[in-house]
Amino acid sequence: MSEHFLVTGGNRLEGEVLVGGAKNSVLKLMAAALLAEGTTVVTNCPDILDVPLMADVLRGLGCEVELEDSEVRITTPAEPKYHADFDAVKQFRASVCVLGPLVARCRRAVVALPGGDAIGSRPLDMHQSGLRLLGARSEIEHGCVVAEADDLHGANIRLVFPSVGATENILMAAVLARGETVIDNAAREPEIVDLCNMLNEMGAKVSGGGSSTLTIQGVRKLEPTTHRVIGDRIVAATWGVAASMTRGDVRVRGVNHKHLGLVLDKLRTAGAEVTPEVDGFRVIQRERPKAVNFATLPYPGFPTDLQPMAIGLAAVAEGTSMITENVFESRFRFVEEMIRLGADARTDGHHAVIRGVPVLSSAPVWSSDIRAGAGLVLAGLVADGTTEVHDIFHIDRGYPRFVENLRGLGGVIERVGTD
């Protein structure tokens, strides 16, 4: 049985939506529980498919994991297993984040090369080179990343690109290494700060979170903790863009608006009234959006995860927009599906030129990744007729209560099962 969405366009989104914990944070926080024997509790967990998938990865490593409502309890044994096999990690890319904690705790890790979204290559070179500088040996063998170390020691590590995944794995290995580690050109995302905060609550000594330089003083042992996941800025921004595309009025709660500074500025440029609030923001779009240029960059730049939403906004904006993708080379696959919906779009290498049209036209389309799927639903909201969005399991991996939230804002969407 497979499922797809039926999205009927024409409605203006209005109302309030609550955002849960960040997908790009919770999975790494769950992996960090491997660093301490005992029970770690992660709260404000989003109800998304990737959380139970990560729970299965941890169970395969010897942990006991309980999922209840928005809370995950992870009990890590004194001696975790060190082999994350392919069956556990094949479905999502974030599973590779167990590599650093396993090297730190077990001094050995075997992690099958993971699967995930089809948005372009994401090699593990920086993960491996960072671990090698910490004293580990690391190779790719039989489809697995194999790393082992007799001893981990501090090092000065400069990343050639501020990779979120490499920063996280090196950081989690370094907290239990001997001496001081400095990571230069580190990722600055709010999710990195969230991980640093949790590690410090466990007894680590990490400074510089949110800057391009992380300094870690290694400690001998960490203790379990209880930590609340930050709100999901990508989900929050998706609802903000949806408000702008549908000329709606949406209040988004449960997120720090400061994590979305550039995104909200772009919505203002498109003609929206954007009001920051204590626990979120409000977007009101009264007229047709204006064309806006976007270029994806590591934080604090415009997120690559929001590129499909930027293309959706540009597709119905007044004027011509240029979208530049600087992070993942295959993310423009989404444009082919937008063209099915009547978008006037052309791509050339890392650039897409979008000439806005007043209304898109409904058609069957296919999701290639989490964000592309959400972007296609948003496009369906501003298309005439009913749009079929297929391969929606991608959306379920990143957006909790997607249908319920969209209906709550006045969107017309139905989940349909097909043989």
Phi, psi of 205 (to 5 degrees): -125, 85
> Residue 58 and residue 74: Cα distance in Å, rounded?
8
Q: Taking a C-beta distance cutoff of 8 angstroms, is the pair 325, 296 a contact?
A: yes
Intra-chain end-to-end CA distance of the chain, in Å: 5
Q: Is 196 exposed, middle or buried (CB count within 10 Å of its CB: 0-12, 13-18, 19+)? A: buried
Catalytic amino acids?
117
Helix crossing, 370-381 with 333-340: angle to 10°?
A: 20
Binding region: 23-24, 93, 305, 327
Torsion of CA 371, 377, 383, 387, to 10 degrees: 120
In whole angstroms, what is the distance from residue 319 CA to residue 291 CA? 5
Contact assessment for residue 31 and residue 55, using Cβ atoms and an 8 Å cutoff: no
Q: Which residues are annotated as a binding site for phosphoenolpyruvate?
A: 23-24
